[in-house]
Amino acid sequence: MKYDDCKVCGTWSPRFAFIGNVAVAFFKFIVGITSGSKGLVADALHSVADAISSLFILIALKISGKPKDKNHPFGHGKVEYISTLFASIFIFFCATTIFLDALHSFKMGTHKMPGNAAIIATILCLGYSYMMYTSNTCAGTQLNSPALLADAAESKADSLASVAVLMGLIGTKLGFIYSDTIAAVVVALLVFHISIEMFFRGVNGLIDVSMDKDSLDNIRNLCLDIQGIEGVRSLRSRSLGPQSSVDIDLDISQSRTILETYKLTEKVKQAIRDKFETVDQIYVRTHPVRRWRLWE
């Protein structure tokens, strides 16, 4: 974590996202209905899905922050992946609704000229969604929180959707009567893409996805840099929400005493914790090998 304030930001950012998404959804819907913009109404439905998924994420962050207990020795971090799955399903459902409504408009041939208020409202909402995207991305990256990154992905989708709506409204003003409805279709496709990405991110977390290759290579090198470690026999890891667990098998000379071996394993654990703040649990097994030391 880069700054101590990241924890504060990680606590308040999803709350602001939820409250903001509720307010923005009502704002978009009212302006979209009164101005006759299908693209803005579609974007309002997207914001409704964002608000619901933000609520799931808030609940997940509350649960995942609980300390380990007897029934949950690995903590509650994986709840964040469950919230990501729920959020992706809600967003996918919203995208389906938007897409079907846009297709219905093409079929019926109804294309109303949106008012200027729709353009102003879209620009305001674009600024808000981009602000929430940068805030949640920063906090989610620093805290390694899948839930906050999922919330950031929703805000990103909202930003892209607002850009598409804005382009559609401008196109309509220039005389392209289908622009606003086409914008609604583009919004739906963007939201589909984001929801699918979120879904697989949640699935990967629940099936114990490993840390990235560079991190594992760094951990391996940290072990080998410690004098007395003869080799790394195996190295595995799995995600536990914002934290990770590492399982290491080390080769150590059989000439070393039990106390010396214990001190080496503690050095390994401390070196990993100093380098990787997101590694919470480290399990080390040692294997004696025939390599005699002549001196220290």
Q: 252 and 148 in one domain?
A: no
Q: Is residue 119 part of a domain?
A: yes
Residues 6+ apart with CB under 8 A from 61: 10, 14, 80, 83, 145, 147, 148
Can you give the pLDDT at residue 210? 76
Can you give the pLDDT at residue 295? 42
CATH number for the domain spanning 283: value is 3.30.70.1350
Q: 217 and 198 in one domain?
A: no
Instruction: Write out the residue range of the structural domain in which residue 12 sits.
Output: 5-206
3-state secondary structure of 237: strand
Q: pTM of this prediction?
A: 0.57
Can you give the pLDDT at residue 248? 92
Domain end (from 188, 206, 224) = 206
What is the number of domains present in the chain? 2
Other C-beta atoms closer than 10 Å to the C-beta of 291 total 13
β-partners of residue 246 are 237, 282
Residues with pLDDT less than 50, the chain: 293-296
Can you give the pLDDT at residue 105? 67
